[in-house]
């Protein structure tokens, strides 16, 4: 929780105040990739099965996918800025030489004409396409609206690497959505690793490597399909509540209020 100390030793000392026979009854703990939380669980709940929450590694993939989109948008913005400078330089050269003011297509232009980037068939520029594709990359294809589907087709045609990254992100989501046992999940994850290797993107390679190191704990999800979504939801509510108070001075009274409101 947000109000607890974050140092592993401090949290461990607090949890060890719970009688050992009670702690030994804990069968499963879900957590994220935090090493400190892993140490705490191993020290305080030695008999518990550790399950890495599925949503955290899916979130890593989503972040890598969005970074790819943002990177392409930066490149496009740079290209547009360079094209705008070239357009202005062309007008200055035409004025200086006394030649007719016409664009590259031979159409008349004014001396103060503004540069307009090329528009795609859906009337969006490349920069607008990349900016407006943020949400569609976060959801499954069946949730796309007709306009989002059209946008996705153009996006994947222009940027094949985004399509591959989206496919990897979506396929990982589908692996954890299937109802199967741990060994079937392991086979699916192995195939996903192979696809990541073919893509050869550093961000996705790092995610696959991190997942490989903790693979057994990740696959424990298929035992009971446990997540820490409820804990994450409560933590978000606590953060929001604390933000409304503009900070906390009296921790004991703050915890008392939390118990009364969220208990």
SS (H, E, C) the chain: CCCCCCCHHHHHHHHCCCCHHHHCCCCEEEECCCHHHHHHHHHHCCCCEEEECHHHHHHHHHHHHHHHHHHHHHHHHHHHHHHHHHHHHHHHHHHHHCCCCECCCCCECCCCCCCCCCCCCCCCCHHHHHHHCCCHHHCCHHHCCHHHHHHHHHHHHHCHHHHHHHHHHHHHHHHHHCCCCHHHHHHHHHHHHHHHHHHCCHHHHHHHHHHHHCHHHHHCHHHHCCCCHHHHHHHHHHHHHHHHCCCCCCHHHHHHHHHHHHC
Same domain, 130 and 256: no
Do residues 150 and 252 both lie within one domain? no
Residues 145 and 249 grouped into a single domain:
no
Please report whether residue 166 resides in a domain. yes
167 inside domain: yes
Same domain, yes or no, for 64 and 105? Answer: yes
| Domain identity same for 62 and 187 | yes
Per-residue pLDDT of the chain (263 residues; tens, 9 = 90+): 444 445 788 889 999 999 999 999 999 999 888 888 899 999 999 999 999 988 888 999 999 999 999 999 999 999 999 999 998 898 888 888 888 887 777 778 888 888 889 999 999 999 999 999 999 999 999 999 999 999 999 999 999 999 999 999 999 999 999 999 999 999 999 999 999 999 999 999 999 999 999 999 999 999 999 887 777 777 788 888 888 877 778 888 888 888 888 76
Q: Is 22 left (phi over 0), alpha (psi -120 to 50) or beta?
A: alpha
Residue 179 lies in a domain: yes
pLDDT tens, position by position, 4-25:
445 788 889 999 999 999 999 9
195 & 255 share domain: no
pLDDT for residue 6: 56
Residue 162 domain-assigned (yes or no): yes
Whether 102 maps to a domain, the answer reads yes
Chain segment 184-232, per-residue pLDDT in tens? 999 999 999 999 999 999 999 999 999 999 999 999 999 999 887 777 7
CB atoms within 10 A of CB 25: 11
Range of the domain at 184: 56-217
Could you tell me the sign of the dihedral formed by the alpha carbons of 225, 228, 231, 232, in that order?
A: negative
Residue 67 makes CB contacts below 8 A (sequence gap 6+) with 203
- 14 with 69, same domain: the answer is no
Task: State whether 114 and 198 are in the same domain.
Answer: yes
Q: Which residue, among 123, 223, 106, 107, has the nearest Cα to 176 in the 3D structure?
A: 223
Within this chain, do residues 93 and 133 fall inside the same structural domain, yes or no? yes
* Counted domains in the chain: 2
Do 202 and 226 fall into the same domain?
A: no
Residue 1 placed within a domain: no
| Residue 50, pLDDT score | 94
Token pair, residue 174, equals 């589908």
**What distances in angstroms separate CA 38 from CA 2, 30, 147, 209, 255, one per listed residue?**
17, 10, 44, 18, 25
Do 245 and 174 share a structural domain?
Answer: no
| Domain shared by 83 and 194, yes or no | yes
Q: 20 lies in a domain?
A: yes
């Amino acid at each position: 929780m947000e109000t607890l100390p974050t140092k592993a030793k401090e949290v461990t000392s607090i949890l060890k105040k719970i009688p050992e026979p009670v702690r030994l009854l804990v069968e499963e703990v879900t957590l994220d990739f935090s090493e400190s939380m892993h140490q705490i669980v191993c020290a305080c709940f030695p008999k518990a099965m550790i399950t890495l929450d599925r949503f955290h590694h899916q979130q890593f993939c989503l972040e890598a996918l969005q970074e790819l989109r943002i990177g392409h948008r930066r490149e496009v913005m740079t290209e547009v800025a360079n094209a705008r400078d070239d357009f202005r330089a062309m007008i200055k050269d035409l004025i200086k030489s006394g030649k007719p003011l016409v664009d590259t297509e031979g159409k008349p232009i004014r001396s103060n004409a503004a540069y307009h980037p090329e528009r795609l068939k859906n009337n969006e520029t490349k920069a607008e396409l990349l900016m407006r594709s943020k949400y569609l990359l976060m959801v499954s294809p069946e949730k796309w609206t007709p306009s989002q589907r059209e946008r996705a087709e153009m996006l994947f045609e222009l940027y094949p690497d985004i399509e591959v990254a989206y496919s990897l992100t979506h396929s990982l989501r589908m692996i954890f959505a299937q109802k199967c046992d741990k060994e079937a999940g392991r086979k699916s994850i192995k195939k996903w690793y192979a696809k990541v290797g073919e893509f050869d993107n550093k961000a996705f390679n790092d995610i696959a490597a991190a997942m490989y190191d903790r693979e057994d704990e990740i696959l424990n999800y298929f035992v009971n399909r446990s997540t820490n979504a409820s804990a994450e939801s409560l933590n978000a509510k606590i953060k929001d509540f604390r933000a409304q108070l503009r900070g906390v001075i009296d921790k004991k009274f703050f915890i008392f209020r939390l118990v009364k409101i969220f208990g």
